[in-house]
A and B are shown apart, each in its own frame.
Chain A
Amino acid sequence: MRDDSFSFKLKRGFGILMMLAFAVFAVFPILWVLILSFRPATQLFVPIWETPFELTLENYSAIIGTNFPFALLNSAITAGASTLLALLLGIPAAFALSKSRLSGKFLASWLLLLLRMAPPVGFVIPLFLIYINSGLIDTYAGLIFAYMSLTLPLVVWSMWTTFNQIPNEVIEAALMDGASIWKTLVKVMIPIARPGIVAAAILSFLLAWNDFFFALIITRSETVTAPVAVMNFVSYASVDWGAIAVASIVLTLPVVPVIILANKYIVQSLGGAVKG
């Protein structure tokens, strides 16, 4: 059905305009930072239209000599590991919550969510003291464990709803054919729930990747992550805007292809559609 009426065209035009405005609003700061990252130190505060050809790769080469690449690696290790571990533990947990007839499962899931209800600043001091006394401060294990308090609830809750949408008959059929519960999960449920898993994985990776607070408190020189390392470009008598711009861009880059590639999964998952 085509609607050629004027009011429809007006509405659609308005919609496009709104979307464009929002896109500019969202993209403009990133563009600005991107331009800054290619500007030499002396031109950082000069408008780009006054000296449009004063560009340099100096900021990028300078940052290689700092500990930022190392911090980026730390971010990748800890965000990746905490996501993997959360999937490993969270998917079976969500499966059990969704499909078993356990008593008290609502209590269990609620307790899990409790972790996310409390703002991190509320439990930072005890967490910090436990970490100091158990030697977990400035270790990968410590940071990964802390990030799992972010990623695990997300995985369990999002996978729980995903599994709920898969009819019980699918499981019954698998069991009927002689599959064990594990085999049913691994061979039947996980393939069906793949869009949900991808979405949960990406969202939890981003949660850990972008974290500043935990890393600020429980990392030191050995495991410092990129969001904290950026702050080190702000020093006593100078602020290295060029380095900060480069760091921000580099910190954003790995996320972009992931989002684009996984876009359809995320939309599917959040939209609630499950294809058999």
Chain B
Amino acid sequence: MYLKTTRRLMAAALAGAMALQSGAAFAQEKTLKVLLFGMPSTIGLQALAGDFEKETGIKADIEIIGQDVFENRITLSFAGRTGDIDVVHTPAIQVQRWVEAGWINPITDQVDALEDKDDFLKGPLEAYAVEGDTYALPFFAEVGLLAYRKDILEAKGQQPPKTWDEMLSVAAAINTPETAAIALRAAPGQGFNMFVFPALMWAYGGKFFADYPSDLTPAINSPENLKALQVYIELLTKYGPQGVGRFNFPEIVAAVQGGQVAMTVDGTSITSQLVDKEKSPVADNIELALPPSGPAGRFPPIAVHGLAVPSDAKDPEASFKFIQWATSKETMAKIALNQAYPDFTRASVASIPEVVEKYSGIQPNFLDLRVEALNEARGDYRPLISTWPEIGAALGENINGALNGLVTPEAALEKADQEVSDIIDSQ
């Protein structure tokens, strides 16, 4: 009697397990697996996946996930050499590390064979060159701009600041308890405060290393870097909103949109949210300009994202076909029209009339401003070395510590210098 029951139970369990299995097998058709993280341009790309299939007959399964989940996923997949990613989202600051680990393959020959290769903006494309080879094609290049409330500046008779020194005096003139003058990314992280702080560092003549890339002796504790850090701290502690010491980009977006902050310097993926009339109540009063410069020049923050072929991809040619399609003029133009995506990486897209019309709605010279800032930006704004993620994290922590008054600026830079030196030595 109970044997029968057992058998029935086991049969049911097996049947259940097999039903689950076959469902899974059905989902495992031969398709290109594209792994991206969430931003307007990747969401726009996902919506166009059908076009790729129509053009090439290859099905693309574009998965978009959060950045943290993404980091975990690729680390496991690449370290385990599982071959379950055919095209991977590749931030430029990661490319050196991934190449060193053997995670992605060069696509130099295919890229050189592209007829319209020269249409790619030079800086973003060069960000993917490692030792003479090209490892990815850029689909996104954002650049730092100054966003300011023209109504507030006009009311106080101020001109938009052209230098960081002027920024101090303008901030002093417009700061009120209701609307703080300025917010900048402060949360520690290579992509957080270390996205913005190098703009001041470079502008005041500071640098990361003695002679990058040939001599990587840290030069963090220089007088120039100290000056930059002091200006950064003065701006935020004297003229920043409450709690700015922990601000990251979401808080900056919220604070400017909510009218609690009058100025910021941030990437176009952030500033475009400030001028978005649907989301931002202050959009009509926001004006964009080139970021402030310093004694050594102007150094707009820059972030580049591209698409690469993992070294364990099953069909590298099909993978490259996808990358070629995703970074084509037609695809970029479609996304630029469908999404908030002024961060395209082809020069020709900026001259398509519909695109020009859409983005001149933000501000007549918006696209020109972006190109001008991109041309001024240096590709190694954040050093293009494989240890940058650790170095950026160490610098970010110390700079945040100094901003929040936990250590003096001098001590913070001294400690950061030592930590960077340790990271370089352990290589």
Residues of A within 8 A of B (CB): 41-42, 44-46, 85, 88, 124-125, 128-129, 132, 135, 137-142, 144, 180-183, 216-217, 220-222, 228, 231-239, 241
Any A CB within 8 A of the CB of B269: yes
* Bound CA span A221–B65, Å: 9
Let me know if A45 and B72 touch, CB within 8 A: no
Partner of B2, one of A135, A180, A221, A222: A180
Which of B119-127, B131-139, B249-257, B412-420 interfaces with chain A? B249-257
Any A CB within 8 A of the CB of B67: yes
Partner of B63, one of A142, A180, A220, A228: A220
Let me know if B65 and A232 touch, CB within 8 A: yes
Q: Which residue of A lies closest to B259 (CB)?
A: A42
Any A CB within 8 A of the CB of B17: yes
Give chain B nearest CB distance to A42 CB in angstroms. 6
Which of B22-30, B93-101, B152-160 interfaces with chain A? B22-30
Q: Which 10 pairs of residues, A with B, have the shortest CB-CB distance?
A: A235-B38, A182-B2, A139-B24, A237-B269, A236-B39, A231-B66, A239-B250, A141-B20, A232-B66, A140-B20
Any A CB within 8 A of the CB of B410: no
Given the interface pairs A135-B24, A235-B39, the reply to whether A128 lies near B67 with Cβ below 8 Å is no
Any A CB within 8 A of the CB of B21: yes
Give chain B nearest CB distance to A38 CB in angstroms. 17
Partner of A141, one of B24, B40, B76, B82: B24
Partner of B24, one of A42, A222, A234: A222
Any A CB within 8 A of the CB of B5: yes
Let me know if B38 and A236 touch, CB within 8 A: yes
Q: A45-B254, A217-B72, A232-B65 are in contact. List 20 more A-B contacts (CB 8 A).
A: A46-B258, A88-B13, A128-B80, A132-B82, A132-B84, A137-B84, A141-B21, A141-B24, A144-B20, A182-B5, A183-B2, A222-B24, A222-B27, A228-B69, A234-B68, A236-B37, A236-B38, A237-B270, A238-B249, A238-B250
* Bound CA span A180–B5, Å: 13
Given the interface pairs A221-B61, A237-B273, the reply to whether A232 lies near B13 with Cβ below 8 Å is no
Q: Mark B165-177, 1 if CB is under 8 A from A, else 0.
A: 0000000000000
Given the interface pairs A132-B84, A235-B37, A235-B38, the reply to whether A216 lies near B267 with Cβ below 8 Å is no
In the complex, what residues of B have CB within 8 A of residue A237's CB?
A: 39-40, 249, 267, 269-270, 273
* Bound CA span A129–B79, Å: 10
Residues of B within 8 A of A (CB): 1-2, 5, 9, 13, 17, 20-21, 23-25, 27-28, 37-40, 61, 63-69, 72-73, 76, 79-80, 82, 84, 249-251, 253-255, 257-258, 267, 269-270, 273, 279, 281
* Bound CA span A139–B24, Å: 6
* Bound CA span A41–B65, Å: 21
* Bound CA span A41–B253, Å: 11
Give chain B nearest CB distance to A91 CB in angstroms. 12
Q: Which residue of A lies closest to B18 (CB)?
A: A141
Let me know if A241 and B250 touch, CB within 8 A: yes
Let me know if A139 and B20 touch, CB within 8 A: yes
Let me know if A238 and B253 touch, CB within 8 A: yes
In the complex, what residues of A have CB within 8 A of residue B273's CB?
A: 237-238
Give chain A nearest CB distance to B25 CB in angstroms. 7
Q: Which residue of A lies closest to B28 (CB)?
A: A135
* Bound CA span A65–B251, Å: 25
* Bound CA span A234–B5, Å: 49
- A-B pairs with beta carbons under 8 Å apart, 20 shown: A42-B279, A45-B251, A125-B79, A132-B82, A132-B84, A139-B23, A140-B20, A142-B24, A180-B2, A216-B72, A216-B73, A217-B76, A232-B66, A234-B38, A235-B67, A236-B39, A237-B40, A237-B270, A237-B273, A238-B250
In the complex, what residues of A have CB within 8 A of residue B84's CB?
A: 132, 137
Give chain A nearest CB distance to B50 CB in angstroms. 17
Give chain B nearest CB distance to A225 CB in angstroms. 12
Partner of A181, one of B2, B20, B82: B2
In the complex, what residues of B have CB within 8 A of residue A144's CB?
A: 20
A144, A181, A183, A221 interface centre (most CB from chain B within 10 Å): A221
Q: Which residue of B lies closest to A138 (CB)?
A: B24
Give chain B nearest CB distance to A189 CB in angstroms. 14
Give chain B nearest CB distance to A148 CB in angstroms. 12
Let me know if A140 and B24 touch, CB within 8 A: yes
Give chain B nearest CB distance to A117 CB in angstroms. 23
In the complex, what residues of A have CB within 8 A of residue B28's CB?
A: 135
Partner of B80, one of A129, A183, A220, A241: A129
* Bound CA span A232–B64, Å: 8
Given the interface pairs A217-B72, A222-B27, the reply to whether A236 lies near B269 with Cβ below 8 Å is yes
* Bound CA span A183–B6, Å: 12
Let me know if A41 and B279 touch, CB within 8 A: yes
Let me know if B67 and A141 touch, CB within 8 A: no
* Bound CA span A222–B279, Å: 32
In the complex, what residues of A have CB within 8 A of residue B27's CB?
A: 138, 222
